[in-house]
Amino acid sequence: MSIRTNLQDLENIALLFEDIKNIAVARLVPEAARAHFRQAEKEALLGVKSLLDAAIVRLEEDDSMKQENESNHLKQIPVED
């Protein structure tokens, strides 16, 4: 007898494991520790956000430098009447 597992079955199993983990954490980890871990997770995400913000700024600066360099390559030639 073969057992076929579809994607929905796998998602349901994953949700069950998530529920088991949440129950275990709620019973084994004190509330104060959970609060610290949540704050640490927030700080880690803010750190990633800062890295992304800095990368965006660098890209914008690169774009503006390219535009500036392109405009500097154009030379105005005075026309005499």
Q: pLDDT tens-digit profile of 59-74?
A: 999 888 877 776 666 6
Quick check: is 12 in a domain?
no
- Please give the residue range of the domain that contains residue 57: 30-75
Query: Cα(66)–Cα(47) distance, rounded to whole angstroms?
Result: 29
Quick check: is 50 in a domain?
yes
Quick check: is 4 in a domain?
no
- Residue position matching structure tokens 């800095």: 54
Q: Which of 21-30, 45-54, 59-68, 71-80 has the lowest mean pLDDT?
A: 71-80
pLDDT of residue 55: 94
Domain count, the chain: 1
Quick check: is 45 in a domain?
yes
Nearest C-alpha neighbor of 21 from the set 13, 40, 8:
13
Quick check: is 43 in a domain?
yes
Q: Read off the amino acid at residue 53.
A: D
pLDDT of residue 78: 83
pTM (2 d.p.): 0.53
